[in-house]
């Protein structure tokens, strides 16, 4: 490996492989316990299953196949969804694919709660071997670490992020060295390369098979991160990091743990830490804690990035997003998400209190997300027609079969804690579906209210009071006049010298270059239209982005007034159907959503917000007028000083 490539490879180890890299802390222990024996037959069978799970699921599915399919360089479930153009919902099989994408995204939100809890908890449990008297402090120390981790999110990790790669590189080297030392003392473990050992273990005790396979799945729970982080490093860098560092370190460590348990069955209580000699035990605990914090940080950052993508593609309610590193668009902080993750993750630690107990809840969300990735991947391959259709179908059947081998056993975890990630994912799915359905319904209601065409605006406006300024009016449509402007004119009899209607469209690509971003159209002397197209990974500083277009039409960007509509949905009076439930949830979300003025970074002193109610009660007329027939009042929020 050249010196030029090494920094990128080390960087990938710190971001991409944190989750899967910390699995040795608990994966082999749980799989061997599920086999209920420390015999050569059981240990070799477990090692064989773990090795081939890594080969088939991570190396074959993700590294060899899935990483080769990207959306303009980006990967992940929502990247596949936008590649399939699912953000523009249409009924039929595309609607089903949209549901699959939302389920996958929801499962990753659920995983974002459990992964930090089990990772940090399993590392801190090493203190029990250093000093048994510290056992009662494992949970408080874990909670303290998580509190510091979540509290530090607001400041961003770009300053200390340079340390993540070197620490994780050291981690994988230590994994490999400790495992190799133990394995060479009992080289029989290398015969586990033969997949027949795993097959025989499952065949000999089918009643234990589901528990063994569910535990073996813990070995590969971080595999989805390889695809989700594709945009940061690219396929070649991730592939090099996997084959040169991550995979050798993981496999050798698992084999070393197996060799240790074969030599001393009592070591099964914590085979990872018992690989180290006594004088290295405390340093290994410290290194493990650092590795799990880095892994947790990668998961949290991934959830923030996923949430931002969901917001920009209208899959999630708009929330306040703060960029923590100018050079990395994916490094964002979302306060609402961070608080939810912190509360739920810390509560999970208090409820389960050990990584052993928490492992029974871990895995089902990731297994489901992997299936959704496979379904979307195969659908995209069919659409792009890169391969012959029979070959695409065959590949889809093979990798879906691999996923199902682990998904079905994980269903057995539902009675023992697996309902937790499903409940978390269900909540996230309810939020996304409610937002999706609610925004579509609100758009239909606004359309039925009877917009004025932009070309007809001059003839419909009153002109008794004209403000001698240019109004930049945010519009959902590039064709019709927004309700906000019409209401402002009706209520206050106010008009402007000149109007610039700006519509923002989020493309199905992560990034849009400057040459493709702006489209300007002159409607008349008083009116112009600006269409802004951005990628779903890009931040939107609207004044800065449209400034060139304003100058092009002779408008000073520093003197314009921004006019923004603010819809206030009214909840149904009675809950009589699923649609009413979704509408009620949407109303709650809408009232807590970030305002458009904040999302688009509009200058507060030059922004005029006009609020107007929208009724979601099925018994009301679509335009939400009260029974008296009078128009609903609008609220006008004047520019802040």
pLDDT along the chain (641 residues), means of 10: 72 86 93 86 95 96 93 86 77 77 90 90 90 88 93 72 85 96 95 95 89 94 86 87 95 97 92 93 93 89 85 84 66 88 94 88 90 95 92 95 94 86 91 88 72 60 73 78 76 82 84 86 85 84 91 90 86 84 89 85 88 68 40 46 43
- Cα 194 to the center of its chain, rounded Å: 36
- Which pLDDT score, from 0 to 100, does residue 117 have? 93
Long-range pairs for 595-598 at CB < 8 Å and ≥24 separation? 595/564, 595/566, 596/318, 596/474, 596/564, 596/565, 596/566, 597/562, 597/564, 598/320
Could you report the per-residue pLDDT of 466-512, keeping only the tens digit for each?
A: 788 898 988 876 667 777 777 777 777 777 888 898 988 888 778 88
8 Å CB contact between 367 and 406: yes
- CA 223, 229, 235, 236 torsion-angle sign: negative
Give dist(CA 497, CA 552) in Å, integer: 18
In this prediction the pTM is: 0.84
Only one residue has tokens 């990207």, namely: 70
8 Å CB contact between 454 and 479: yes
What dihedral angle (degrees, nearest 10) is formed by the CA atoms of 410, 309, 349, 223? 40
Give dist(CA 134, CA 141) in Å, integer: 10
Give dist(CA 405, CA 382) in Å, integer: 24
Crossing angle of helices 364-384 and 419-448, rounded to 10°: 50
- CA 288, 291, 295, 300 torsion-angle sign: positive
Give dist(CA 6, CA 12) in Å, integer: 10
- Which pLDDT score, from 0 to 100, does residue 288 have? 94
Could you report the per-residue pLDDT of 415-465, keeping only the tens digit for each?
A: 888 888 889 999 999 999 999 888 888 877 776 665 666 655 665 565 567
- Which pLDDT score, from 0 to 100, does residue 157 have? 61
- Which pLDDT score, from 0 to 100, does residue 460 have? 59
Tokens of 169: 């590189």
Residues 6+ apart with CB under 8 A from 400: 371, 374, 375, 378
Burial class from Cβ neighbours inside 10 Å (0-12, 13-18, 19+) for residue 423 reads exposed
> Alpha carbon of 639 to those of 471, 604, 609: distances in Å?
13, 6, 8
Helix H segments across 313-363? 335-352, 355-358
DSSP assignment letter at 633: P
| 589 phi, psi to nearest 5 deg | -65, -45
Query: How does strand 527-534 pair with strand 561-570?
Result: unpaired
Q: Does domain 7-438 have CATH number 1.10.10.10?
A: no
Could you report the per-residue pLDDT of 184-207, keeping only the tens digit for each?
A: 999 999 999 999 999 999 998 888
Q: How many Cα atoms sit within 13 Å of 192 on the Cβ side?
A: 30
Give dist(CA 419, CA 435) in Å, integer: 24
Domain-wise residue ranges, the chain: 7-438, 452-637
- Which pLDDT score, from 0 to 100, does residue 399 have? 95
Residues 6+ apart with CB under 8 A from 153: 300, 304, 333, 338
Tokens of 138: 């494992």
């Amino acid at each position: 490996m050249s010196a030029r490539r090494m920094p990128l490879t080390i960087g990938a180890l710190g971001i991409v492989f944190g989750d899967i890299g910390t699995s040795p802390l608990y994966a082999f222990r749980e799989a061997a316990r599920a086999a209920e024996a420390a015999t050569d037959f059981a240990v070799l069978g477990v090692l064989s299953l773990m090795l081939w799970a890594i080969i088939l699921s991570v190396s074959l599915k993700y590294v060899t196949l899935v990483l080769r399919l990207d959306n303009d360089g980006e990967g992940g479930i929502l990247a596949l969804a936008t590649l399939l153009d699912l953000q523009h919902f249409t009924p039929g099989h595309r609607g089903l694919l949209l549901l699959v994408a939302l389920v996958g995204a929801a499962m990753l939100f659920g995983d974002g709660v459990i992964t930090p809890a089990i990772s940090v908890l399993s590392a801190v449990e090493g203190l029990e071997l250093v000093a048994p008297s510290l056992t009662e402090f494992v949970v408080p120390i874990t909670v303290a670490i998580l509190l510091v981790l979540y509290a530090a999110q607001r400041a961003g990790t770009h300053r200390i992020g340079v340390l993540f790669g070197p620490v994780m590189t050291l981690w994988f080297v230590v994994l490999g060295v400790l495992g190799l030392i133990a394995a060479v003392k009992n080289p029989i473990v290398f015969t586990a390369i033969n997949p027949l050992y795993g097959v025989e273990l499952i065949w000999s005790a089918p009643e234990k098979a589901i528990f063994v396979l569910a535990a073996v799945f813990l070995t590969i729970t971080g595999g989805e991160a390889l695809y989700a982080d594709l945009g940061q490093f690219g396929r070649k860098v991730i592939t090099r990091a996997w084959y040169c560092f991550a995979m050798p370190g993981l496999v050798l460590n698992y084999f070393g743990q197996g060799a240790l348990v074969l030599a001393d069955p009592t070591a099964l209580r914590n085979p990872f830490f018992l690989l180290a000699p006594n004088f290295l035990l405390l340093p290994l605990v410290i290194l493990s804690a650092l590795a799990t914090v880095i892994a947790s940080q990668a998961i949290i950052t991934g959830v923030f990035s996923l949430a931002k993508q969901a917001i920009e593609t209208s899959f999630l309610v708009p929330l306040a997003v703060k960029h923590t590193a100018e050079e990395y668009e994916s490094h964002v902080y979302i306060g609402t998400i961070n608080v939810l993750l912190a509360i739920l993750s810390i509560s999970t630690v208090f409820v389960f209190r050990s990584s052993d107990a928490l492992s029974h809840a871990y895995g089902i969300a990731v297994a489901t997300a992997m299936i959704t990735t496979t379904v979307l991947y195969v659908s995209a391959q069919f659409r792009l027609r890169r391969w012959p259709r029979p070959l695409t179908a065959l590949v889809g059947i093979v990798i879906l079969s691999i996923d199902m081998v682990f998904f079905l056993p994980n269903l057995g975890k539902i009675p023992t804690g697996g309902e937790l990630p499903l409940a978390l994912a269900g909540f996230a799915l309810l939020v996304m579906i409610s937002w999706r359905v609610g925004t579509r319904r609100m758009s239909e209601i606004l359309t039925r209210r009877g917009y004025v065409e932009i070309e007809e605006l001059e003839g419909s406006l009153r002109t008794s009071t004209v403000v001698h300024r240019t109004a930049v009016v945010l519009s959902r449509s590039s064709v019709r006049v927004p309700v906000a402007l019409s209401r402002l004119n009706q209520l206050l009899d106010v008009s402007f010298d000149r109007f610039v209607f700006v519509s923002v469209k989020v493309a199905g690509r992560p990034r849009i270059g400057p040459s493709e971003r702006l489209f300007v159209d002159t409607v008349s002397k008083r009116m112009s239209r600006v269409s802004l197209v951005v990628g779903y990974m890009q931040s939107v500083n609207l004044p800065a982005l449209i400034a060139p277009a304003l100058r092009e039409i002779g408008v000073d960007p520093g003197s314009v007034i921004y006019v923004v509509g603010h819809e206030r949905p009214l909840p149904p009076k009675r809950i009589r159907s699923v649609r009413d439930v979704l509408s009620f949830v949407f109303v709650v979300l809408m009232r807590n959503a970030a305002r458009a003025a904040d999302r688009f970074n509009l200058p507060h002193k030059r922004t005029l917000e006009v609020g107007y109610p929208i009724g979601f009660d099925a018994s009301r007329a679509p335009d939400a007028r009260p029974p008296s027939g009078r128009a609903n009042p609008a609220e006008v929020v004047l520019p802040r000083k």
